[in-house]
Amino acid sequence: MSAVQEYRYLAPSTAGTSGVALQTCGGPAANPRFFSGFLTTPPAAAAGLLAVADVARTRYFQPRPTAFLDPVVTGGADRLRFESFSACCGVYARLDALPAGLDGEMLGHGTTNVDINPPLRESLARIAGLDPLHLSVGPDDLTASTLDGTVVEKKVPLPARWLRGFAEVHVLSAAFDLRAELNPAEAAAFLRRLPGASDRSVLWAVPAGRTLRLTSRAAPGAVCLAGAGRLAALKSLLRHCTALRVYGPPVRSGSSAVASAWELDTGALRLTLTLSPEPHRGFSGEGAALTSLAADEVTDDADAIGTLLSWDPTIDVADLSASAALPPDRVRAALAQLGTAGRVGYDVAEAGYFHRVLPYDATRAERDNPRLVGARALAESGAVTFDPLAGAPPAVAATVRSGDQTYRVRRLPDGSMTCTCPWWAKHRGDRGPCKHALAVTILTTSPAPV
């Protein structure tokens, strides 16, 4: 009879310019944990974890039962982050357990994806008062201990659609600014007077004194609120909150719907819900990252930047720019590329990027973005002809042959693109560029003469 002993390694051994880094398994013992300790505000933390899990199992558009219950958990530096997307991919939820919310040891850093199954949900729902909540997070599981006992949730596969959503959310969020901050009383009053879950209208929240006033049209300083019922998960933390902060991109009078972020802060925790521009739109199809991914050098830049990512609470673009000897715009494009593998997120509260430990696949950007694949094919086949009379950059005009059709693409002085194709006519640039505009972008940003 033979016996098999399993040895598990945290990472492969590597050889580089600084020498050889050998990984050891530490014998048959379990791998080290990212974090082991107590959450300092157990009822609020339990409510926040359940909120993230509830978002994962909810389909806000065309509701129907779903089996998704699997937040992504990242430990590093001084905090834990729990993230999920709704089943329709139109809501992104993140719970940040900040240093004030943790009483334990951050033993390492890493990311895992675990189920929150009924036993853990029931255990979290029973936490009240001074009941303790202890978490132990490792690369393959999350262990939660309460007065009711211990529940172990194992690692599960990460949905591919979530990776596409991660890439889009962090690009969109990077353009957000703080628009309003409400105190607990005003936050509770505002959230409780919102329309119910069945309402899918696009509203705009306009700062008015200490609160927000809802209107049906965009105005400067307003924040888009599409499908107000999608903020329901915030209500579970209302009794613990110290502030509600609202973030969004700049808008003009009459602007079309845009994404927004709504952050409920308890001091020890931050629960953030980022909403897609409309309830029927999932983040995975927004196309916000496409322009950043079109440059020829972006894959090489992403490889360089990926080796420099640290486990500070936020990633400093200026520091990365100096370390990699790349201009900030190329660093941001590289971060967008890394975002296609879920390795980078964006925290609107700290106006900075953060790091996840997920495998980086340079081919994923092409595989997950058929418009980018189509654009490269057009650019490489000679389908783009530039108008020599268009004027000096950034003004560009071009004719693009696509199948039996011919389209006109124009880049305006503000950098935006227009196209005569049906895609642009339908979306007017709100879902990212069409493949014809992307083909023009690829050729005009190529370092080699066209």
Q: What is the pLDDT of residues 297-315, one digit of tens each?
A: 787 888 888 888 876 667 8
Q: Which domain holds residue 353?
A: 290-365
CA–CA separation, 441 and 292 (whole Å): 10
Banded model confidence at residue 51, pLDDT cuts 50, 70, 90: very high
Structural domain contains residue 422: yes
| DSSP H or E segment with residue 253 | none
Q: Indicate whether 235 and 305 sit together in one domain.
A: no
CA–CA separation, 60 and 279 (whole Å): 7
Q: CA angle 243-248-252, nearest 5°?
A: 130
Domain limit, last residue, from 365, 399, 416: 365
Average pLDDT, the chain: 84
CATH number at residue 202: 3.10.150
Q: Measure the N-to-C terminal CA separation of the chain; round to a whole number of Å.
A: 68
Q: Indicate whether 207 and 268 sit together in one domain.
A: yes
Q: Indicate whether 249 and 302 sit together in one domain.
A: no
Structural domain contains residue 406: yes
User: Cβ(66)–Cβ(135) under 8 Å?
Assistant: no
Domain limit, last residue, from 282, 304, 338: 282
134 HSE (CA, 13 A, CB side): 13
pLDDT tens digit sequence for 329-361: 889 888 877 877 778 889 999 998 888 877 656
Domain limit, last residue, from 128, 158, 188: 158
Q: How far from the centroid of its chain's Cα atoms is residue 435's Cα?
A: 23
240 HSE (CA, 13 A, CB side): 25
Predicted local distance difference test score (pLDDT) of residue 295: 67
Confidence (pTM): 0.81
Structural domain contains residue 278: yes
* Nearest alpha-carbon partner for 197 in 111, 91, 103: 91
Predicted local distance difference test score (pLDDT) of residue 314: 74
Which of 181-195, 291-305, 406-420 is predicted least confidently? 291-305
Predicted local distance difference test score (pLDDT) of residue 110: 85
Q: Indicate whether 277 and 322 sit together in one domain.
A: no
Structural domain contains residue 142: yes
Structural domain contains residue 11: no
CATH number at residue 310: 1.10.10.10
Q: Indicate whether 36 and 107 sit together in one domain.
A: yes
User: Cβ(127)–Cβ(134) under 8 Å?
Assistant: no
Q: For residue 261, what are the β-bridge partners?
A: 247, 274
Which of 156-160, 216-220, 293-297, 425-429 is predicted least confidently? 293-297
Does position 399 have pLDDT exceeding 60, yes or no? Answer: yes
User: How big is the chain, counted in residues?
Assistant: 450
CA–CA separation, 418 and 213 (whole Å): 34
CA–CA separation, 33 and 109 (whole Å): 8
Q: Going along 89-219, which residue ranges are E strands?
A: 91-97, 102-106, 110-113, 134-137, 141-146, 149-154, 177-182, 202-208, 211-215
Q: Indicate whether 321 and 435 sit together in one domain.
A: no
Q: CA angle 174-176-181, nearest 5°?
A: 135
Q: CA angle 144-155-115, nearest 5°?
A: 60
Over residues 68-76, mean pLDDT: 79
Q: Indicate whether 219 and 195 sit together in one domain.
A: yes
Q: Indicate whether 243 and 261 sit together in one domain.
A: yes
| DSSP H or E segment with residue 34 | none
Does position 1 have pLDDT exceeding 80, yes or no? Answer: no
Kindly compute the dihedral angle of the four CA atoms of residues 155, 159, 160, 162, in this order, to the nearest 10 degrees: -110
Does position 397 have pLDDT exceeding 50, yes or no? Answer: yes
Predicted local distance difference test score (pLDDT) of residue 446: 56
Angle at which helices 42-56 and 118-125 cross, to 10°:
140
Structural domain contains residue 7: no
Residue at token pair 């132990």? 136
Question: For the chain, how many structural domains are there in total?
Answer: 4
| DSSP H or E segment with residue 15 | strand 14-16
Which amino acid would we find at residue 266?
Answer: T
User: Cβ(91)–Cβ(273) under 8 Å?
Assistant: yes
Structural domain contains residue 260: yes
CA–CA separation, 132 and 443 (whole Å): 58
CA–CA separation, 154 and 53 (whole Å): 15
Q: What is the CA radius of gyration of the chain?
A: 23
Does position 287 have pLDDT exceeding 80, yes or no? Answer: no
Q: Indicate whether 211 and 274 sit together in one domain.
A: yes
* Nearest alpha-carbon partner for 233 in 343, 71, 342: 71
Q: Indicate whether 55 and 101 sit together in one domain.
A: yes
User: Cβ(383)–Cβ(393) under 8 Å?
Assistant: no
CA–CA separation, 293 and 275 (whole Å): 23
Residue at token pair 């389908």? 383
Q: Indicate whether 38 and 150 sit together in one domain.
A: yes
Structural domain contains residue 8: no
Q: Indicate whether 124 and 199 sit together in one domain.
A: no
Q: What are phi and psi of 171, to 5 degrees?
A: -70, -45
CA–CA separation, 259 and 83 (whole Å): 18
Q: For residue 135, what are the β-bridge partners?
A: 37, 144
CATH number at residue 105: 3.10.150.10
Q: For residue 93, what are the β-bridge partners?
A: 84, 273
User: Cβ(269)–Cβ(199) under 8 Å?
Assistant: no
